[in-house]
Every structure is written in C-alpha cells, then in structure tokens.
Amino acid sequence: MKKIYIKTWGCQMNEYDSSKIVDLLSKSHGYIVTKKSENADILLLNTCSIREKAQEKVFHQLGRWKNLKKNNVNLIIGVGGCVASQEGEYILERAPYVDIIFGPQTLHRLPKMINRLYIDKNPIIDISFPKLEKFRSFPPTISSSPSAFVSIMEGCNKYCTFCIVPYTRGEETSRSSNEILLEISNLAEQRVREIILLGQNVNAYRWFDTDGRVCTFANLLRLVAAIKGIDRIRFITSHPIEFDDDLIEVYRDTPKLVSFLHLPVQSGSDRILNLMKRSHTVSQYKSIVEKLSKVRPNIQISSDFIVGFPGETESDFDNTINFISEMNFDMSFSFLYSPRPGTPAADLPDEVEEEEKKRRLYILQNLINKQAKLWSDRMVGTTQRVLVDKILRDEFETISGKTENNRVVIFNGSYTNMGKFVDVEIIDSGIHYLKGKLLSIDNKINSL
C-alpha cells in the first residue's frame, strides 16, 4: 500500500483541509497515513502564513525532506496551504525537487495532479481560486471522533492591514446551507455529538437560494441545532463587526450553542484598531459582550491580541492591558506583531523595538494566564457536562473530554464512555486542564 505523510501548520481550517486531503487520496489512490516521513510515498506540507518567517520555516522543512528524495526518486513532495498560495513558483526556484504546489482552494485537484505527474514528470503549480469547487469534490466525511469540524465558508473581505488571509485564501465565499446540513446530518448518523463550524470570518456566512432568500449565520445555527443527535455547537472564528443582534438572539434561544465564544479584538486601543483597519471600536466590542452576557450570564470570552503593532505606544499598550482586565478574558491568544509580505501594515514604520515587544507580550500573557487560572479555579467543586473524546491510558482507565467552556478535563473512566456526555465533578485545576471525578452518564442526551 502507498503511504502518505502530511505535516500541517496553522489554524483549524488547515487541519480540516489536511483531513480532506487524506480522504481524497485514500479514495483515489489507496494511500494510507504513516506517522514516519521516511516510510512515505508522498510527503505533503500544508502551510500557514500567519506567523513570523513562515516562508523560511517551509524551506527548512523541505530541506530536511530533500535527502529522502535523493534516496527515493519516486517520492512525491507537495506544498500546499497559504504559503504555497503566496509564494507559488518561488518555491520551485528555491526547492526544485518539489513536485506539486497547490493552494487552499485547489487541494481537491491533488488526485489529478498526481496522475499527471506520473505521466510527464514535470512539476505542477495550481494556486488558483475556484469558488467552492473543492467542497463538491470531497468524499462523504467519515469521523471516528464525537466532535467534528465542518467548514461553512472560505476567505475574508475585511482586509485588516496585518492579515495575509484575503490574499492567500481569497474573498468570502459561503457554501450552500443544504450541503452543510447534509454533511452534519451524515456526521450525526456516525454518532458525532459536537459540531464546530469553521470559517476565516464565520459569522459573515451568507447563502442565497434560487428564490433569492438568504440564509444568514444565525439562521444556519438554528438549522444545525435542529438536527437530531447534535447536542453541542461551537464556531470559529468570528468578527465583531458582524456580530449582530440576530446572532445574540440565537444565544438566548439555543441551548446547544455553547456558552463560550472566541471573538478576536486584536487591541484595546481605538487608535491601533484604526491602523489595523479592524472596522470596530473598543466600545462596540464591549457592547457586544454586554448584550451576550444579558442573554447568557455565564458566557466566557476568549480573544486574540497582537502586541507591538507599528506605532503602538506605551499608552496604547496600557489601554489594551486595562481592557483585558476589565473584560476578564479567558484563554486568549496573543502574538508579537511581525510583518506579512504584501500586506499594507508591512509598509508602516515599525517603531517598537523587538525587546520592548517581548516585554509587552510577557506582561499581557501573564495577565491572561492569571485570568484563565481564576476561571479554572472557579470551576473546582462544580459539576460539568463533559463530552468524552480521548482514551489516555487504557491500563489505568484514564480518559478525557471537554467542558462546554472548552476546558480539557482528565478523569478516571472506561472506554465505554467514549463519545458520550458525562457529568464530572471538578476536583483540581490548572491553566490548561482540569482534573475531575466521574459522577454519571447523561443517558437522556446520549440516546439517539
């Protein structure tokens, strides 16, 4: 049997894409996954452009694979994802031993690319942007987990000055609501209990049917909640500018939608938000959270922050720290600003010294970690509904699952609990995980 090794960097969308690549090549060429690159017949790198020096990271990995190609002339090496979309032919200039370069919107063409490669042996580059073609080419999803990702839209129209996504994944394009609901119904029949809806800007979802009627993101959430067997719904990642009142009403009326929201803000300074072209203010963001808290008093919010954006003063940073303290964010993600080639912010004078950026990041992350720990500490002594998704150690009957607020809980149980909702008493807390004691299984929820 032919073997595929795929290395994935970046967001959940990339993880989703990689799983679809495996499904496609398994069906078309009989590839099976190997965890050892030296055993593979095809090596694929699914890349991300978000972090600093993303391109160099790709070429370092390709350099490590070069020797494998020398030892096996039939080995196929492919580069996909956002760096592939951004760099294109330059990848071949620096790494001429690469065989296939494909973008996020052309990964479904890999079977045909491989067939063509077998015939003419010439490198293939396809980083075009065919809208939604890939979703119609995917085989039906097979899931072995009680939790599954479902991509509902691609791309972004916001063009934040720091972000490369609109240039590497294209503009916003939504999938048919019927296609999405059919995929989720199929997953529910496989005993998937939790759905995570994916999109670069997920709440920008809009689908217009043949009669001109629109299905908004709020409408879609209500439809997903009506599917029998789906008992928990999450989504990532959303944008404040499109977090409208209709979406807040879904939180009020739809218990299956979790009381946890990741809503990136990026800065607590209106001046910096304006330079970032974020299209929202700090007060508008606060207003969204205030409205959410009225309909879901126990909701927890996580966010994203960029530290050291060009022109960020000490006062701007202080505003961000004060904002984080006031909002009491939970489990947020923060990064040092680094310019992405081709983005407007890359041309701005970067006046913040690297050491100062690191100092600010340390202060910000330390504050968020303290807040996250306090959130976890409050859970000790409570009973949490946990979806069991992993068996950690069979011999010790140790399993784990996630709470509604996205905390990992480790506790003693049985493999028979896998894929079920259970009640767990939280007995200890850390920043990144909790320890619990199994109380009971929610048989009402777990019966289909």
Binding-site annotation: residue ranges for [4Fe-4S] cluster: 11, 48, 82, 156, 160, 163
Spell out the alpha helix ranges (H) of 207-269: 217-225, 245-253
Q: What is the DSSP string of 108-160?
A: GGHHHHHHHHHHH---EEE----SSHHHHHSPPP---SSEEEEE-EE--S---
The DSSP element (H or E) to which 183 belongs, if any, is helix 177-189
Phi, psi of 80 (to 5 degrees): -130, -175
How far, rounded to the nearest angstrom, does the alpha carbon of residue 347 sit from its chain's CA centroid? 28
What is the CA angle 304-305-307, rounded to 5? 160
Name the DSSP class of 107: G
Name residues whose C-beta falls within 8 Å of residue 231's C-beta, 6 or more positions apart in sequence. 193, 194, 256, 421, 445
Q: Are strands 232-236 and 194-198 parallel, antiparallel or unpaired?
A: parallel
Q: Are strands 408-412 and 398-402 parallel, antiparallel or unpaired?
A: antiparallel
Name residues whose C-beta falls within 8 Å of residue 26's C-beta, 6 or more positions apart in sequence. 32
Residue numbers in the known binding site are 11, 48, 82, 156, 160, 163
Listed residue (9, 400, 13, 2) closest to 237, CA to CA: 13
What is the CA angle 203-207-209, rounded to 5? 160
d(CA 407, CA 436): 11
How far, rounded to the nearest angstrom, does the alpha carbon of residue 364 sit from its chain's CA centroid? 22
- Write out the two tokens for 384: 């949490």
Contact 332, 293 (CB under 8 A): no
d(CA 173, CA 153): 6
d(CA 364, CA 366): 5
Residue 52 has a CB neighbour count (10 Å cut-off) of 12
Helices (H) and strands (E) in the chain, counts: 15, 22
Q: Residue 324 corresponds to which amino acid?
A: I
